[in-house]
């Protein structure tokens, strides 16, 4: 700095004072009985602590004898310290730490130590690198407030029923516009709306997934060499929990697990659409029997 | 001609121009000169002109693209439109199979799981509109279909093993 | 150009260059397999295709980055002190990270791509452990990168007088005082070093934050992450890394092309101001990856992204490329293979830039975003720019010390096959993009595999050209004269 001696002493003193206040404030906050702040605010407070730690670190590093500068160990420390500091900011544990003041204090001391080390190491390595490192560390902690530990809730659109989203009230003459008269016809519509046909062809050819033609009631070869008949329970499990099934000739985990959530659970307690799909699969098989069919009749109840 | 084909032509034209400049400079080395002063003067003069030209061109290009940005200001987003929900998920789009013609439509696009992209292709296979489908967010894509026919939606953001199969057809108008 | 009296420095550069080129060659073969699959000349299930795509993307970027790091490190070591053990440590961390990425893709079937866009790494068909190994691998790579950036930035600060000196601040704003004090501005290659150091560290920090967030999420699925926040950070980080490669390789132009044209490139005010703007633009361009988040992303950032992306062309064309053309114009260049590769790389940079500026225009982006136009422009930059610069550099080094020289016929053959094949390969992407073919598709939608077949033929021709170049390189290497002087004694002409 080109400032005169007294100005630079004032600046240095100021940094030490402000830095110490921030460090102690950040540590003392862990012992206060105040309730949980939101996670983003919590991140910003961490950023303030980092600022304090960094300011003190720069002043300390200036006191380091020249012969210790330009050592590679400073570079390695400056890069590794922020990693450990970040690991001490584990958002899903914030609520736990708010109730355990001792651990919280230890956590903050750790953050202060690693932030300080990072900035100290930068300034020790080469004078002039300390300030940029401080700015980057503070910015990184503040940036965490934008999305680490917080996320928007799923859109309300997701809770709309399937029939609302795919409503034919906008006209059109496609097959999907006609009201189904049987459960298996509803199943055909639902499976088209949900895009099952992209992977499961109905013409007998093998696609990304097994064909639905002549599936119900037929024995299926599994990847472990055993065979199982595709009865109702098998088909139901295959749709709701595809991660548990691996057929021979298909890699594991190809089918997403999303369909399970869309077809079962509290909002679908009657499993109406699931049964419709399984009726549709049965309608494509010439070995369909009551064992492979759903326990409800193939009729639309009004 | 499709918009993208026009862009390709523009690109090819510019590339040919660039290639010619580079070729000319290479060929100039057949007649080397020792004294660089004259070349430097002319070179710097050309560079200054090029700098002014490219800066003005880029700034005016920036200004001229502004009216065509697809971002709905919040006022127009609320205006009269048919709001069509689209839910992208691994590996399908949950959406109606028919939308009306000549009607301002706002597709409200979101995702159930990972990032997808809602890309609308017309019956000629031209990509006419698209927006990202993100979990937890809704993107409002405004489209007014002026031609009836079959349109195909494709996913344009890698979303897993079924990404290339993720498509949905819908019809527009009295089809 | 390259001193024979720094064997340690040369060994470090060779370590970086050789490992980078080996990974690059392997990844090009992986890329060929992918294009053949899309051409339907090779059959592979989509799981394998996307694993290969993950490997190819991550591998190529890291490979070219390693080459750029090694070359720039060596060039700067001629001017300032740089610790070799630290550079090797950085290299080792990166290689370890690459091994992690390979293990996760090959053995864990990880196929989340090198953009690891949240939440996809956690919602795919691969083993859970593979996600963790991939993320740890990327963190190791980032750690090695940041160590290199730190070392480079620290050295530049020390040698040229802190941030202001390294930026040439007083040289631009107080030239008379600066000259009167007997100061000289940093040499041209110090500016890519400064920009790589500053932007590399800044974005590396962002990558570190994102990486730790994802790792924590991998360990503890209760942790929430905002997908839009993650998307911004992912592109801020990855765009800067990919973009920095070609800016770092500009140092090869300043030194290597100078050597080939027998003219000198030196620092001027225009040059310095050009690099200041690049320093900023590399950071602010990334918004152009989010144009199609039409409501979610704040609108002001979209406008800003287009303006920044547009203006990037100014320092590149008006300073670096124009300066390079002035170096070549009516010079006494001997068009050896090294000079030819180096010069052609400039064409790739500018042409790739045109494709990029078209895509960076928001109204056009609607038709091009995530189509094959995107790989078209970045393959032009990386293959037609970065790789050619690296090959040019390697060949200039080989030619300067070899008793052999390449015959005109072989030069023409290698150039025509490599460059011609490359143009055919790249045009497959441009035509695909213009016809709306989506990127990252394991199978080709309409109009079918024809374009991919065309591109595959181009790639094979290009690889034949590169193979011939490899053997020619071995031949040049076989007759090294260790005592040959490398730096022309009679440099007179100065260009800036």
Tokens of B44: 């710097």
Looking at the fold, whether C371 and C280 belong to one and the same domain comes out as: no
| HSE-CB of C314 using CA atoms within 13 angstroms | 26
pLDDT of residue B77: 64
Which CATH number describes the domain made up of B82-172?
2.60.40.420
pLDDT of residue A176: 59
Residues 93-132 of B with CB under 8 A from C: 113-115, 117, 119, 121, 125-132
Looking at the fold, whether C329 and C340 belong to one and the same domain comes out as: no
pLDDT of residue A113: 95
Sign of CA dihedral C299, B54, C72, C98: positive
Q: Which of residues C333, C354, C387 is at a domain's end? A: C333
Rounded (5°) CA angle B103-B108-B111: 145
Tell me which residue in A80, A126, A144 faces C154 most closely, judged by beta carbons: A126
Residue C274 in any domain: the answer is yes
CATH number, domain of C257, equals 1.20.210.10
b/e for A261-281, b at 16 or more Cβ within 10 A? ebbbeeeeeebbbbbbbbbbb
Residue C385 in any domain: the answer is yes
Residue C353's domain comprises 336-491
Tell me if C150 and A78 make a contact (CB, 8 A cut-off). Answer: yes
Give the gap in angstroms from C-alpha C11 to the nearest C-alpha of chain B: 34
Looking at the fold, whether C359 and C282 belong to one and the same domain comes out as: no
Tell me which residue in C290, C328, C367 faces B3 most closely, judged by beta carbons: C367
Tokens of C349: 């940079």
| Residue in chain A nearest B109 by alpha carbon | A157
Residue with tokens 């991919």: C452
B137 close to C296: Cβ distance less than 8 angstroms: yes
Give the gap in angstroms from C-alpha B67 to the nearest C-alpha of chain A: 30
Residue C496 in any domain: the answer is no
Q: What mean pLDDT, rounded, does chain B reach?
A: 91
Looking at the fold, whether C143 and C262 belong to one and the same domain comes out as: yes
SS3 B146: coil
Work out the number of other CB atoms within 10 angstroms of the CB of residue A73. 12
Q: Which residues of chain A are within 8 Å of residue B162 when distances are taken between CB atoms?
A: 198-199, 208, 254, 256
Looking at the fold, whether C414 and C437 belong to one and the same domain comes out as: yes
pLDDT of residue C35: 96
Residue with tokens 């720069």: A58
A260 touches chain C (CB under 8 A): no
Q: Which residues of chain C are within 8 Å of residue A70 when distances are taken between CB atoms?
A: 81, 154, 158
Looking at the fold, whether C122 and C102 belong to one and the same domain comes out as: yes
A274 close to A182: Cβ distance less than 8 angstroms: no
Sign of CA dihedral C225, C229, C231, C236: negative
pLDDT of residue A33: 76
Residues near B118 by beta carbon (within 8 Å), at least 6 away in sequence? B86, B88, B93, B107, B109, B130, B131, B132, B133, B139, B141, B153, B155, B156
Low-confidence ranges of chain A (pLDDT < 70): 1-3, 167-178, 301-302
In this complex, how many residue pairs, one in chain A and one in chain B, have their CB atoms less than 8 Å apart? 92
Work out the number of other CB atoms within 10 angstroms of the CB of residue B59. 13
Tokens of C182: 């007997």
C231-273 pLDDT, tens digit each? 999 999 999 999 999 999 999 999 999 989 988 888 999 999 9
Q: Which residues of chain B are within 8 Å of residue C443 when distances are taken between CB atoms?
A: 164-165
**How far, in Å, are A9, A14, A55, A61, C161 from residue A4 at the CA level?**
9, 15, 20, 20, 19
B72-122 pLDDT, tens digit each? 876 666 678 888 999 999 999 999 988 989 989 999 999 999 999 999 999
Q: Which of C112, C224, C230 to mutate to test the interface with A (most CBs of A within 10 A)?
A: C224
Looking at the fold, whether C311 and C344 belong to one and the same domain comes out as: no
Residue C97 in any domain: the answer is yes
Tell me if C364 and B164 make a contact (CB, 8 A cut-off). Answer: no
Q: Which of residues C333, C349, C371 is at a domain's end? A: C333
Looking at the fold, whether C313 and C384 belong to one and the same domain comes out as: no
How many Å apart are CA A139 and CA A136, to the nearest integer?
5
Tell me if C333 and B77 make a contact (CB, 8 A cut-off). Answer: no
Tell me if C154 and A75 make a contact (CB, 8 A cut-off). Answer: yes
Q: How far apart are the first and last CA of chain A?
A: 83
| HSE-CB of A59 using CA atoms within 13 angstroms | 18
Give the gap in angstroms from C-alpha A143 to the nearest C-alpha of chain B: 19
Looking at the fold, whether C357 and C410 belong to one and the same domain comes out as: yes
Tell me if B139 and C369 make a contact (CB, 8 A cut-off). Answer: no
Task: Supply the DSSP string of chain A, one letter for each residue.
Answer: --S-HHHHHHHHHHHHHHHHHHHHHHHHHTTS---PPPHHHHHHHHHHHHHHHHHHHHHHHHTS-GGGTT-HHHHHHHHHHHHHHHHT--GGGHHHHHH-HHHHHHHHHHHHHHHHHHHHHHHHHSTTSHHHHHHHHHHHHHHHTTTBS--PPPPGGGGS-HHHHT--TT---SGGGSPPSSHHHHHHHHHHHTTGGGTS-SSS---SS--STT-TTSEEEBTTS-EEE--HHHHHHHHH-GGG--BTTS-TT-S-SHHHHHHSSGGGTT-HHHHHHHHHHHHT-TT--TTTS-SS-SS---
Under DSSP, the state recorded for C330 is T
What subunits make at least 3 CB pairs under 8 angstroms with B?
A: A, C
Tell me if A172 and B165 make a contact (CB, 8 A cut-off). Answer: no
Domain ranges (residues) in chain B: 36-69, 82-172
C285-320 pLDDT, tens digit each? 999 999 999 999 999 999 999 999 999 999 999 999
Under DSSP, the state recorded for C51 is H
Over residues C33-53, the mean pLDDT reads 95
Tell me which residue in B7, B43, B130 faces C326 most closely, judged by beta carbons: B43
C355-401 pLDDT, tens digit each? 999 999 999 999 999 999 999 999 999 999 999 999 999 999 888 88
The pTM score is 0.94
The dihedral region occupied by C142, where left means phi > 0, alpha psi between -120 and 50, and beta the remainder, is alpha
Q: Which of C121, C230, C304, C329 to mutate to test the interface with B (most CBs of B within 10 A)?
A: C329
Tell me if B58 and C47 make a contact (CB, 8 A cut-off). Answer: no
**Which of A32-41, A74-83, C105-114, C165-174 bottoms out in mean pLDDT, i.e. has the lowest?**
A32-41
Tell me if A155 and B92 make a contact (CB, 8 A cut-off). Answer: no
pLDDT of C488 over the 50 cut: no
B7 touches chain A (CB under 8 A): no
Rounded (5°) CA angle C252-C253-C254: 95
* Overall number of domains in chain C: 2
Residue among A105, A149, B135 at smallest CA distance from C209: A149
Tell me if B136 and A176 make a contact (CB, 8 A cut-off). Answer: no
Tell me if A172 and B171 make a contact (CB, 8 A cut-off). Answer: yes
Looking at the fold, whether C154 and C88 belong to one and the same domain comes out as: yes
Residue among C319, C377, C321, C333 at smallest CA distance from C353: C377
Looking at the fold, whether C234 and C357 belong to one and the same domain comes out as: no
Exposed/middle/buried for residue B102 (C-beta within 10 Å: 0-12, 13-18, 19+): exposed
Tell me if C111 and B157 make a contact (CB, 8 A cut-off). Answer: no
pLDDT of residue B113: 94
Please report, rounded to a whole number, the percentage of residues in chain C having pLDDT higher than 70.
Answer: 96
Residue C222 in any domain: the answer is yes
A185 touches chain C (CB under 8 A): no
Rounded (5°) CA angle B83-B88-B92: 120
Q: Which of C120, C124, C223 to mutate to test the interface with A (most CBs of A within 10 A)?
A: C223
pLDDT of C175 over the 70 cut: yes
**How far, in Å, are A56, B5, C257, C325, C403 from residue C332 at the CA level?**
58, 42, 12, 13, 20
Q: Which of residues C333, C364, C392 is at a domain's end? A: C333
| Residue in chain B nearest A190 by alpha carbon | B94
| Residue in chain A nearest C154 by alpha carbon | A126
Give the gap in angstroms from C-alpha B108 to the nearest C-alpha of chain A: 9
Tell me which residue in C150, C212, C227 faces A79 most closely, judged by beta carbons: C150
Low-confidence ranges of chain B (pLDDT < 70): 1, 74-78, 175
Looking at the fold, whether C314 and C257 belong to one and the same domain comes out as: yes
SS3 B41: helix
């Amino acid at each position: 700095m080109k400032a005169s001696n007294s100005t630079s002493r004032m600046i240095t003193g100021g940094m030490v004072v402000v830095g110490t206040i921030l460090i102690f404030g950040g540590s003392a906050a862990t012992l206060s009985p105040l309730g949980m702040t939101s996670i983003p605010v919590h991140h910003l407070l961490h950023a303030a602590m980092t600022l304090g730690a960094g300011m003190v670190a720069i002043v300390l590093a200036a006191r380091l004898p020249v012969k210790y500068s330009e050592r590679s160990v400073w570079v390695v420390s400056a890069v590794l310290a922020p990693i450990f500091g970040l690991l001490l900011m584990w958002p899903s544990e914030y609520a736990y730490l708010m109730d355990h003041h001792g651990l919280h204090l230890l956590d903050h001391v750790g953050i202060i130590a690693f932030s300080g080390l990072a900035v100290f190491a930068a300034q020790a390595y080469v004078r002039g690198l300390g300030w940029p490192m401080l700015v980057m560390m503070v910015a990184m902690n503040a940036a965490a407030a934008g999305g680490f530990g917080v996320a928007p809730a799923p859109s309300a659109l997701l809770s709309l029923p399937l029939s609302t989203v795919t409503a034919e009230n906008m006209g059109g003459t496609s097959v999907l516009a006609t009201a189904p008269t049987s459960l298996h016809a509803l199943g055909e519509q639902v499976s088209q709306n949900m895009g099952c046909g992209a992977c499961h062809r109905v013409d007998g050819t093998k696609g990304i997934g097994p064909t639905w033609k002549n599936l119900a009631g037929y024995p299926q070869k599994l990847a472990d060499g055993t065979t199982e008949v595709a009865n109702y329970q098998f088909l139901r499990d295959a749709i709701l929990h595809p991660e548990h099934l691996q057929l021979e000739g298909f890699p594991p985990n190809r089918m997403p697990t999303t369909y399970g959530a869309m077809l079962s659970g509290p909002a679908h307690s009657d499993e109406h659409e699931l049964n419709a799909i399984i009726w549709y699969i049965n309608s494509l098989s010439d070995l369909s029997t009551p064992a492979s069919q759903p326990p409800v009749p193939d009729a639309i109840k009004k | 001609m499709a918009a993208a084909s026009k862009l390709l032509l523009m690109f090819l034209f510019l590339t040919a121009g660039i290639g010619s400049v580079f070729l000319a400079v290479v060929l100039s080395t057949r007649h080397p000169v020792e004294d660089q002063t004259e070349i430097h003067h002319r070179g710097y003069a050309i560079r200054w002109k090029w700098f002014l030209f490219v800066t003005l061109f880029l700034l005016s290009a920036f200004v001229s693209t502004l009216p065509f940005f697809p971002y709905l200001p919040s006022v127009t987003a609320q205006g009269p439109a048919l709001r069509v929900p689209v839910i992208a998920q691994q590996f399908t789009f949950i959406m109606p199979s028919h939308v009306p013609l000549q009607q301002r439509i706002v597709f409200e696009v979101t995702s159930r799981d990972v990032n997808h992209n809602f890309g609308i292709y017309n019956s000629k296979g031209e990509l006419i509109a698209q927006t990202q489908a993100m979990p937890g967010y809704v993107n409002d894509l405004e489209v007014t279909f002026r031609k009836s026919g079959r349109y195909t939606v494709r996913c344009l953001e890698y979303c897993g093993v079924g990404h290339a199969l993720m498509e949905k057809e819908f019809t527009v108008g009295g089809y | 150009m390259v001193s024979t009296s720094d064997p340690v420095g040369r060994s470090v550069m060779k370590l970086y260059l050789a490992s980078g080129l080996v990974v690059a060659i392997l990844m090009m073969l992986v890329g060929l397999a992918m294009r053949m699959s899309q051409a339907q000349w090779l059959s592979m299930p989509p799981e394998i295709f996307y694993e290969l795509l993950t490997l190819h993307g991550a591998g190529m970027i890291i490979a070219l980055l390693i080459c750029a790091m090694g070359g720039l490190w060596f060039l700067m070591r001629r001017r300032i002190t740089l610790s070799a053990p630290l550079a090797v440590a950085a290299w080792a961390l990166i290689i370890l990270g690459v091994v992690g990425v390979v293990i996760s893709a090959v053995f864990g079937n990880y196929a989340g791509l090198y953009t690891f866009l949240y939440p996809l790494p956690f919602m795919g068909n691969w083993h859970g452990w593979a996600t963790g190994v991939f993320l740890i691998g990327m963190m190791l790579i980032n750690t090695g990168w940041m160590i290199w950036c730190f070392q480079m930035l620290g050295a530049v600060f020390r040698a040229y007088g802190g941030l202001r000196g390294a930026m040439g601040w007083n040289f631009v704003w107080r030239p008379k005082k600066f000259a009167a004090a007997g100061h000289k501005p940093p040499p041209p290659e110090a500016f890519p070093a400064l920009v790589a150091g500053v932007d590399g560290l800044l974005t590396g920090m962002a990558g570190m934050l994102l990486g730790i967030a994802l790792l924590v999420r991998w360990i503890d699925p209760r942790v929430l992450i905002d997908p839009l926040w993650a998307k911004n950070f992912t592109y801020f980080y990855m765009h800067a890394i990919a973009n920095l490669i070609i800016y770092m390789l500009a140092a090869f132009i300043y030194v290597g092309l100078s050597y080939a044209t027998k003219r000198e490139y030196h620092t001027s005010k225009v040059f310095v101001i050009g690099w200041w703007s690049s320093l900023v633009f590399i950071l602010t361009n990334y918004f152009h990856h989010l144009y199609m988040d039409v409501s979610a992303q704040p609108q002001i950032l979209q406008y800003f992204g287009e303006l920044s992306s547009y203006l990037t062309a100014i320092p590149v064309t008006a300073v670096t490329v124009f300066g390079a053309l002035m170096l070549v114009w009516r010079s006494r260049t001997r068009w050896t293979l090294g000079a030819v590769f180096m010069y052609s790389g400039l064409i790739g940079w500018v042409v790739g830039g045109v494709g990029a500026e078209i895509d960076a225009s928001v109204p056009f982006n609607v038709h091009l975003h995530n189509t094959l136009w995107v790989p078209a422009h970045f393959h032009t930059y990386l293959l037609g720019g970065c790789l050619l610069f690296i090959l040019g550099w390697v060949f200039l080094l080989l030619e300067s010390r070899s008793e052999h020289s390449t015959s005109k016929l072989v030069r023409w053959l290698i150039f025509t096959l490599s460059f011609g094949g490359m143009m055919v390969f790249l045009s497959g992407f441009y035509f695909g993009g213009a016809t709306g073919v989506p990127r990252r598709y394991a199978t080709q939608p309409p109009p079918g595999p024809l374009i991919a077949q065309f591109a595959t033929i181009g790639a094979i021709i290009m690889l034949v050209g590169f193979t011939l170049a490899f053997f020619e390189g071995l031949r040049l290497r076989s007759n090294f004269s260790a005592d040959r002087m490398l730096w022309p004694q009679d440099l007179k002409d100065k260009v800036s």
